[in-house]
Amino acid sequence: MTPAPVPTPDPVPTPDPRAAAAGDAPRVALAATTLVVPDYRALARHLEVARAGRTVALANGCFDVLHVGHVRLLREAAAAADLLVVALNTDESVRANKGEGRPHVPLEERMEVLAAIQGVHAVTSFPESTAEALLRALRPDVHVKGTDWTAETVPERDTVVAYGGRILIAGDEKTHSSTELIEKRRGD
């Protein structure tokens, strides 16, 4: 199924026309919104144009219950490239990976929350259980994973290496977990 065209704001900083009108030196204004494209294949077509010599980092995961560990990973991921794409597992793939009762937050809301984080240029989703097809489609320069991995144990390592990308292990030590937060709230 081909998705309907989505109006896409420019996810890249653009000159602020008010600065030129006022006669000031040109300033840069960030786009008002982050690009949200639910289907990563449609985002791949957009990135072909938006890249224009820029580097792209990709962070992926469930991002079910956002916590400080996610924020720290995304901050480091944003610093690793010119554009940061965050890809979320769909609700179905979260259930397949995490079990029944997950996610706690539906995909559309998770995408909206991630789009509001400074430094995130685009948000997308993927239905597969691994990120390999996503990585082959988007071909980010940097694939960012959390500290629960090493560069050698990232499941998609061979895919990233095959197209010439690199892996960045980012964020703080794995002391934060959505699953643990959920279990604490339940009293488990």
pLDDT tens per residue, range 98-147? 899 899 999 999 999 999 999 999 999 999 989 999 999 999 999 999 99
Domain-located, residue 5: no
User: In CATH, what number is assigned to the domain containing residue 68?
Assistant: 3.40.50.620
Smallest CA-to-CA distance from 41 within 166, 128, 158, 168 is with 128
Provide, rounded to the nearest whole percent, the portion of the chain with pLDDT above 70.
74
What is the rounded average pLDDT of the residues 10-25? 36
| Secondary-structure breakdown of the chain: helix, strand, coil percentages, each rounded to the nearest 5 | 35, 20, 45
Reduce the DSSP state of residue 142 to 3 states and report it: strand
Question: What spatial distance separates the first Cα and last Cα of the chain, rounded to whole Å?
Answer: 42
Pick 160 or 186 by higher pLDDT. Answer: 160
Domain that holds residue 41: 33-186
Distance CA 82, CA 185 (A): 37
Q: Examine the pLDDT at 83 and tell me if it is beyond 80.
A: yes
Confidence of residue 85 (pLDDT cuts 50, 70, 90): very high
Total count of domains within the chain = 1
Mean pLDDT of the chain: 82
- Residues contacting 170, CB < 8 A, separation 6+: 59, 72, 73, 76, 77, 80, 144, 145, 146, 147
Domain-located, residue 115: yes
Domain-located, residue 2: no
Q: Examine the pLDDT at 167 and tell me if it is beyond 70.
A: yes
Distance CA 141, CA 55 (A): 6
Pick 5 or 131 by higher pLDDT. Answer: 131
Confidence of residue 175 (pLDDT cuts 50, 70, 90): low
Domain-located, residue 16: no
Smallest CA-to-CA distance from 123 within 134, 112, 132, 131 is with 112
Q: Among the listed ranges 1-5, 71-75, 162-166, which one has the minimum average pLDDT value?
A: 1-5
